[in-house]
Amino acid sequence: MNRLVYPLISLIVIVVVIAMVMSQSLMVVQRLARATAVSGQVVVHRPGGSGFEPLPENALVAAGAVVQTGPQGAATLNWVDGTRLVVGPDTSMTVLRCQVNRDSSETSLFRLSAGKLLVRVRKILAGQSKFEISTPTATAGVRGTIFTVQVDAAGQTQVAVLEGKVNLEAGGQGLEVTPGYEAVAGSGSAQVRPLSAAARSSLTASPAALGPYVTLDQPRAGATVAPGRLEVSGQGEPGARLTLNGQAVIPGFRGRFRSAVQVPSGALTFTLRLLATDERNYQTEIARDLTVSAIASNAPAR
């Protein structure tokens, strides 16, 4: 009898332990970024990969990935909640961790080894949530803001703030960088000063990088459609107001939406305009020119 009981108890314990581990891991949700606006030389080293490979448009980037750009390279990493990193030329950055924790807090950790990032954190992080970018000489922590982080050729870290505030830890100092100011941190010191003209220009040079995340999935670019009802689908970041050719669109779960517009008869082309506006009144617009044909089907592509 004992010969049967002890193995059975051991099996039950193993099953319980495995169930507990799985339940805990399932409660930590890994967040993926979508790469857009990829141009020039951009490569990625994925977790478990054997080396760097080209980063294609619309590819997903997970925690553990290293993204590198060449002298003319650039890419934008978009998370569905509106968080965005614009990776500039000659940049090497690592997504260390990006997850929703068991207590609903969020942890987003990045490492910038060289180059420049423009960062947009849309929402004010609460509770135990953490968003940090570490460099060789500093760590920048934020709750919700728009700022740039740069590691120059000398290894100095420069942080310039457009909105919100950045808490900078450098050289044993804790500094608060507010809108209109920048911080420069070396190996043993850090200082805050008013934004230079160059830093201010770099923060505002790309309005598209500041606006809300939005995609237009159907119809695809270059599609041919017929006059009449045209189904349109896509996704916007939570909290963004969406309009499609001037008409309000109500998004559903995770910002997904499906709507329709009327394509006029007799036209040769038709332009779709999807406009997303966030609570800061930054905007992102997708304009898509379509060819109109009386024999085309308006059913979304499968």
Examine the pLDDT at 20 and tell me if it is beyond 60: no
Per-residue pLDDT, 302: 44
Q: Is 22 exposed, middle or buried (0-12, 13-18, 19+ CB in 10 A)?
A: exposed
User: What gap in Å lies between CA 143 and CA 166, rounded to an integer?
Assistant: 8
Per-residue pLDDT, 217: 93
Q: Which of 53-57, 148-152, 183-187, 241-245 has the lowest mean pLDDT?
A: 183-187
Residue 238: what are its φ and ψ, rounded to 5°?
-55, 135
Domain spans of the chain? 29-206, 214-292
- Of 190, 161, 196, nearest to 177 by C-alpha is 161
Instruction: Specify whether the CB–CB gap between 237 and 82 falls below 8 A.
Output: yes
User: What gap in Å lies between CA 215 and CA 253, rounded to an integer?
Assistant: 15
DSSP secondary structure, 122-167, as one string: -SPP-TT-EEEEE-SS-EEEESSEEEEEEE-TTS-EEEEEEES-EE
Instruction: Specify whether the CB–CB gap between 152 and 199 falls below 8 A.
Output: no
Half-sphere exposure of 200 (CA within 13 A, CB side): 8
Residue 273: what are its φ and ψ, rounded to 5°?
-130, 110
- CA 57-61-63 angle, 5° bins: 170
For 109-136, the pLDDT digits (tens) are: 999 999 999 999 876 666 778 899 999 9
CATH number of 29-206: 2.60.120.1440
Q: Percent of the chain beyond pLDDT 70?
A: 86
For 87-110, the pLDDT digits (tens) are: 999 999 999 999 888 877 788 999
User: What confidence tier does 14 reach under pLDDT thresholds 50, 70, 90?
Assistant: low
Mark 183-198 as b/e (b = at least 16 C-beta within 10 Å).
Answer: bbbeeeebebeebeee
- Of 50, 24, 46, nearest to 35 by C-alpha is 46
Per-residue pLDDT, 299: 54
Q: What is the mean pLDDT of residues 64-84?
A: 93
Which residues fall within 8 angstroms of residue 160, CB to CB, at 6 or more apart? Answer: 147, 148, 150, 177, 181, 182, 195, 199, 200, 202, 203
Examine the pLDDT at 76 and tell me if it is beyond 90: yes
The partner residues of 101 in beta bridges, in order of sequence, read none
User: What gap in Å lies between CA 141 and CA 197, rounded to an integer?
Assistant: 24
* Sign of the C-alpha dihedral computed for residues 76, 41, 60 and 231 taken in this order: positive
Higher pLDDT, 8 or 162: 162
Higher pLDDT, 114 or 279: 114
Instruction: Specify whether the CB–CB gap between 62 and 47 falls below 8 A.
Output: yes
pTM value is 0.77
Higher pLDDT, 77 or 128: 77
E strand or H helix at 45, and its extent? strand 42-45
Per-residue pLDDT, 255: 87
User: What confidence tier does 289 reach under pLDDT thresholds 50, 70, 90?
Assistant: very high
Instruction: Specify whether the CB–CB gap between 31 and 56 falls below 8 A.
Output: no
Half-sphere exposure of 107 (CA within 13 A, CB side): 11
Instruction: Specify whether the CB–CB gap between 28 and 100 falls below 8 A.
Output: yes
User: What gap in Å lies between CA 129 and CA 108, rounded to an integer?
Assistant: 8
Per-residue pLDDT, 126: 65
Q: Which of 134-143, 155-164, 193-202, 211-220 has the lowest mean pLDDT?
A: 193-202
Architecture of domain 214-292: Sandwich (2.60)
